[in-house]
């Protein structure tokens, strides 16, 4: 083989570069799988099972949005004896009060950029700016 001295190191560098994300992940802490915690209030039930919520919360949120906002069905849902006013702020975040843990940890991990919070108020903002009566 000609130019063995250049080609082999070149190949090694190339392979290292291409596989960079893999071994970077192995040592980096940026990509640790998020730990799942129950909401701080101790609630154990949601409007659907955990597996279903994990897989399809975005579908549910879109359906709620369209039903509540566009079709004008602003009724609450009752699941397991508990009433939920369908909405991100009025239902989800009532129990899951920590947005960083509940939303961001997984979304960051999977690099999903949601625009919910451009309009909707996070529990933190709501608490900090809650009007005094």
Partner 1 sequence: MDKQRRTFLKLAGATALAGLSAPVVVNLNATPAMASAAAAGHGEEKRQGMRLGLLIDMRKLYGRTDLLDKATEACHRVHNVPKIEGKKSEIKWIWKTAYANAFIDQSVNHASKTTRESEFLVLCNHCDEPPCVRVCPTKATFVEKKTGIVAMDYHRCIGCRFCMMGCPYGARSFNWMDPQPLLKSVNPDFPARMRGVVEKCNFCGERLALGKEPACVEAVKEVGAIIFGDLNDPNSEISKVLDREHTIQRNAALGTKPSVFYIV
Phi, psi of 82 (to 5 degrees): -105, 140
115 binds partner 1 (CB under 8 A): yes
Instruction: Map residues 24-53 to x or -, x wherever contact with partner 1 holds by CB under 8 A.
Output: -----------------------xx---x-
Taking CA 36 as the corner, what is the angle to CA 31 and CA 42, rounded to the nearest 5 degrees? 155
Instruction: Map residues 59-78 to x or -, x wherever contact with partner 1 holds by CB under 8 A.
Output: xx--xxx-x-xxxxxxxxxx
Closer CB to partner 1, residue 29 or residue 71? 71
**How far is C-alpha 75 from the geometric centre of its chain's CA atoms?**
26
Of the candidate spans 13-21, 30-38, 103-111, 113-121, the one that interacts with partner 1 by CB under 8 A turns out to be 113-121
Burial letters for 79-109: b for 16+ Cβ neighbours within 10 Å, e otherwise? eeeeebebbbeebbbbbbbbbebbbbbeeee
Question: Across 36-81, where does the E strand assignment appear?
Answer: 77-79
Closer CB to partner 1, residue 15 or residue 79? 79
**Site of interaction with partner 1 (CB under 8 A):** 47-48, 52, 56, 59-60, 63-65, 67, 69-79, 83, 86, 88-90, 115, 118-121, 123, 125-127, 129-132
């Amino acid at each position: 083989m000609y130019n063995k001295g250049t080609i082999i190191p070149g190949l090694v560098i190339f392979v290292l570069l291409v596989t960079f994300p893999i071994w970077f992940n192995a040592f980096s802490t940026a990509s640790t799988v998020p730990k799942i915690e129950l909401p701080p209030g101790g609630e154990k039930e949601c409007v659907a099972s955990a597996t279903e919520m994990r897989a399809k919360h975005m579908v549910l949120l879109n359906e709620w949005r369209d039903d509540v906002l566009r079709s004008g069905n602003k009724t609450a849902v009752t699941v397991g004896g508990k009433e939920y006013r369908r909405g991100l702020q009025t239902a989800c975040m009532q129990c899951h009060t920590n947005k960083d843990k509940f939303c961001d940890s997984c979304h960051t991990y999977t690099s999903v950029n949601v625009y919910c919070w451009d309009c909707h108020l996070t529990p933190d903002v709501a608490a900090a700016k809650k009007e005094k009566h």
